[in-house]
Amino acid sequence: MKLPDLTELAFRNLRESVLRNSLTTIGISVGVASLVAMLSLGIGLQQLASRRLMKSGLFDTVVVTSRRDLRNFNREEERSGPAPGESRILDEPTRVEIEHLPNVVEAYPDIRFITELRYEDKPHLTTIAALPESAKTNDAFEAVQGSFFSSDTAPEAILQKTFAEELLGRTPKSGLDETDVKQLAAPLLGKELTMRYAQREAQGALSPKASNAPSDGLSGGAYSVISREQKLKIVGVADLDPESMRGPTRARVFLPLKLAESLHVMQPTDLREISRTASDQPVYSSVSVRVKNPGRIQAVEDAIKKMGFNTFSILDASRSIQQFFKVLDVFLGIFGSLALAVAFIGIVNTLVMAILERRREIGIMKAIGASDGDVKKLFFAEAGAMGILGGVVGVALGWAIGQVINLGTNIYLKRQSFPPEHFWAVPWWLVLFAILFSFLVSLAAGLYPASRAARLDPVQALRYE
Amino acid sequence: MSVVHSPNITAPAPAILLQQVCRHYRMGETLIRAVDGVTLAVQAGEFVALLGSSGSGKSSLLNLIAGLDRPTSGAVIVQQRNLAELSREDLAKYRLHTVGMVFQSFNLIASMTLAENVELPLRFAEVDRGKRDSLAREALERVGLQGRMKHRPSELSGGEQQRAALARALINRPKFLLADEPTGNLDSQTGTEILNMVRDFNQHLGMTVVMVTHERALAERYAQHLIFLADGKLVGDESNSSDPAAKGAAPAGTNGVLP
């Protein structure tokens, strides 16, 4: 029999005992709904987690350091490859070269120095770091009190909350919540800081920009160090825990990257590079490379290693997190499938009942020329139709259940004054997968009834009324 | 395929040939010999009546000819093909294309309209939808039911249902019409109408008809060839002594049910 005929007859037969078939189909829907609900919870949680990790800037960042650096702050780095002496210098052309590697979004130097900041004429010594503009979307700076830098060259600063406390002369206490950061920010925003720093300048090329501090040149063969001052406006206070952050965010005061670069602040590496560079060209202690997505990290790391640098990323940590979610998905899927297994038995039951009820009809069809295959296909088509119907209804139901639970949870989160979360995701492939799965499960359930119907002896079937 | 042995050397090969056909089955402890060593031949174009009392094995024999059942032993040869040797698939094709069946209880599918019932064999034969519609209409016109195409079987009289069943039986233009007590559930006047139609198919469409009945009077009025069965055995095989061409004639035999 042809497929359109088969479908038509199957739907006709389903309509004939509409109550029983509807109940069976609802059974399938509930099964599919529970499967969809479980899996979308798993997928949603995974997306939530990776969104968070992505925002933290940890999982899409590779930190590049020169192999010449034997000691690079207090990080334990893997040391392999060529000996430090043969390695390349991490300077501006190299940074550009890295930035042009495939899958690299940006590569920016980690500028970090310790210097003195004056606030209301009191000096404070602290670590200052430069932030690229992309840090704006970083989770850590999303909740900044005040605002992010108005531009990449603006003379502005964002303070880490413990430094803000220090400026205000408060004793730091642990477990600050948002309102406290707000209180800290209120008196500081818009105020001015004066940063004193040492500028490195190539010899004979003294900046025409008048310095408001005496230039006591420290003669170092190739360049001089000039003491300078820079006024900074406080635009934000960030609720960051400096100990938990890595790389560029491990500081207490942040400046826009382009501004920091233009200052040519003397950096610890400069002394070590004295013999190598005699120019104004900056040399970086490390460069942070942002990668398009965490999946590309390995490739980018390999490419940079080939260039002769050390790299570091938290790829392995993200791998084990992904593995955890895979296992979680499997478990949720198994629990979701249990309901579908019950629906499976429901289909078998319905179709076996249908055979008993339609014995005579099967006998008639065989008597007028239906083959075993025709009868089998007809029952398969009925099972499949129930499966597709149940699958479609089930996906809708599962989606609705997810929406309701998500809504309920967000109401709860709001009451607990947490921001709402979207931890429920029904991707299109899950919709297709669920309907296909429901269809296949239904066909499998139809296997036994269909072959039983096909084997029915027409003489027996026609004998009794 | 078996070699065909015609019982009559001079005659052409018979359309249906049964050789020592047995159909035995077990019911609990007892072995039932529904058909027990029957040998007979039916020529193409004949109208044959299988006569016998209830349980004589005439319906079992018809089911064997229809390819609904297989013999325990012996050969059922239709158009030089031994049905006992056909696969289930080929047997289904044989039922679809070579034979058409009508039953005492009409056996229309209750959930389908007459048109759908009649075109059902065409669906199994994978005929296109457009062609199916016109063939079904044509077949229903032939039995005078063109006005009832959209009706369900339960909305029709017994005679109309049997006419629809006849339309279904001839939709695939089979060579054989097998009828199992086609008038058993009908009053005598309606029964006569149905059998006149069967005779029309026999004479004008050239269909070979094998009809099971227990009414000798009807058999003698319509059939050219009478076969008598009792307890699964052949007890008589004769040409109709009364002239089958004399259609309007009164029933020749009045003794009704045979031993």
pLDDT digits (tens, 9 = 90+) for A359-398: 899 999 999 999 999 999 999 999 999 999 999 999 999 8
B96 touches chain A (CB under 8 A): yes
Q: Which two tokens stand for residue A18?
A: 């509409």
- Contact yes or no for A99/A307 (Cβ under 8 A): no
Residues A216 and A123 reside in one and the same domain = yes
- Provide the domain count of chain A: 2
Q: Considering only residues 144 to 203 of chain B, which have any Cβ-Cβ distance to chain A shorter than 8 Å?
A: 168-169, 172
Q: What is the pTM of this model?
A: 0.66
Amino acid at B158: G
Contact assignment for B124 to A370 by CB distance below 8 Å: yes
Same domain, A309 and A325: no
At which of A313, A347, A368 does a domain end? A313
Residue A223 and residue A151 in one domain: yes
Chain center to CA of B215: 15
Q: How many CB atoms lie within 10 A of CB A219?
A: 9
What number of helices (H) and strands (E) belong to chain B? 7, 10
Rounded to whole angstroms, how far apart are CA atoms A200 and A215? 11
Tokens matching residue A181: 């950061």
Minimum CA–CA partner of A360 in chain B: B107
Are residues A263 and A127 part of one domain? yes
Together in a domain, A268 and A377: no
Q: Does A372 touch chain B (CB under 8 A)?
A: yes
- CB of A5 within 8 Å of a chain B CB? The answer is yes
* Separation of alpha carbons A189 and A362, rounded Å: 84
Q: Is A194 exposed, middle or buried (0-12, 13-18, 19+ CB in 10 A)?
A: middle
Q: CA–CA separation, A229 vs A209, rounded Å?
A: 12
- Residue A278 shares a structural domain with residue A402: no
A327, A187: one domain = no
Q: Three-class SS of residue B135?
A: helix
Which chain A residues contact residue B101 at CB under 8 A? 367-368
> What's the domain range around A389?
3-54+321-463
> So what's the pLDDT on residue A268?
61
Number of other CB atoms surrounding residue B142 within 10 Å: 19
Spell A137-166 as b/e; 16+ CB within 10 A means b.
ebebbeebbbebbeeeeebbbbbbbbbbbb
Contacts of B105 in chain A (CB under 8 A): 465
Both tokens of A307, joined, read: 């260039």
Q: Give the separation between CA B81 and CA B99, rounded to whole angstroms.
A: 13
Final residue of a domain: which of A313, A346, A370?
A: A313
Strand, coil or helix: what is B37?
Answer: strand
Average pLDDT, chain B: 87
Residue B19 has pLDDT above 90, yes or no: yes
**pLDDT at position A212 over 80:** no
CB-CB neighbours of B161 under 10 Å: 23
Residue-level length of chain A? 465
Judgement on whether residues A98 and A148 belong to the same structural domain of the protein: yes
Q: Are residues A434 and A294 in the same domain?
A: no
Tell me, yes or no, if B88 comes closer than 8 A to chain A by beta carbon. Answer: yes
Distance CA B18, CA B68 (A): 15
> Which domains are present in chain B?
44-72+87-239 (3.40.50.300)
Q: How far is B179 from chain A (nearest CA, A)?
A: 12
pLDDT (tens digit per residue) in B199-251:
999 999 999 999 999 889 989 999 999 999 999 999 988 887 765 554 443 34
Among B89, B95, B172, the residue with its CB nearest the CB of A367 is: B95
State which amino acid sits at residue A262.
Answer: S
Of A369, A372, A457, the CB nearest to B121: A369
B97 with A369: Cβ contact below 8 A:
yes
**Residue-averaged pLDDT of chain A:** 78
Q: Nearest Cβ partner of B69 from A369, A374, A459?
A: A459
B66 touches chain A (CB under 8 A): yes
Residue type (1 letter), A116: E
Chain A residues in contact with B69 by the CB 8 A cut-off are 457, 459
Q: Can you point out the beta strands (E) in A239-300?
A: 253-256, 286-291
| Same domain flag for A253 and A334 | no
- Is the distance from CB of A155 to CB of A259 less than 8 angstroms? yes
Here the tokens at position A193 are: 């800081």
Characterize A358-371 residue by residue with b for buried, 16 or more Cβ atoms within 10 angstroms of its Cβ, and e for exposed: bbbbbbbbbbbbbb
Which chain B residues touch A1 with a CB distance below 8 Å? 123-124, 126
Contact A117, A123 (CB under 8 A): yes
- The answer, for A370 touching chain B at a CB cutoff of 8 Å, is yes
Task: Select, from the ranges A180-184, A225-229, B12-16, B38-42, the one with the highest average predicted confidence (pLDDT).
Answer: B38-42
ipTM for the predicted complex: 0.87
- What does DSSP assign to residue B212? E
Q: Do both A95 and A27 map to the same domain? A: no
Among the listed ranges A210-214, A237-241, B166-170, which one has the minimum average pLDDT value? A210-214
pLDDT digits 0-9 by tens, A132-176: 877 777 666 666 777 888 888 888 888 888 788 888 877 655 554
Q: What is the distance between the alpha carbons of residues B91 and A369, in angstroms, rounded to a whole number?
A: 8
- pLDDT one-digit tens code per residue, A287-309: 888 887 767 778 888 888 888 88
Return the residue matching tokens 């034969």.
B125
Could you give the C-alpha distances from A241 to A50, A115, A160, A252, in angstroms and in order?
21, 20, 8, 9
Does one domain contain both A94 and A173?
Answer: yes
Which of A281, A313, A345 corresponds to the end of one domain? A313
Edge to edge, what strands does the sheet with B233-239 contain? B99-102, B176-180, B208-213, B47-51, B225-230, B233-239
Q: Taking CB atoms and an 8 Å limit, are A368 and B63 in contact across chains?
A: no
How would residue B10 be classed by pLDDT, with cut points 50, 70 and 90? low
CB contact under 8 A, A373 and B89: yes
CA atoms of A448 and A348, how far apart (whole Å): 8
Average pLDDT over residues A103-131: 84
- Nearest CB among B92, B108, B172 relative to A371 is that of B92
Segment A232-280, tens digit of pLDDT: 888 888 876 555 455 555 678 888 888 888 887 776 655 555 544 444 5
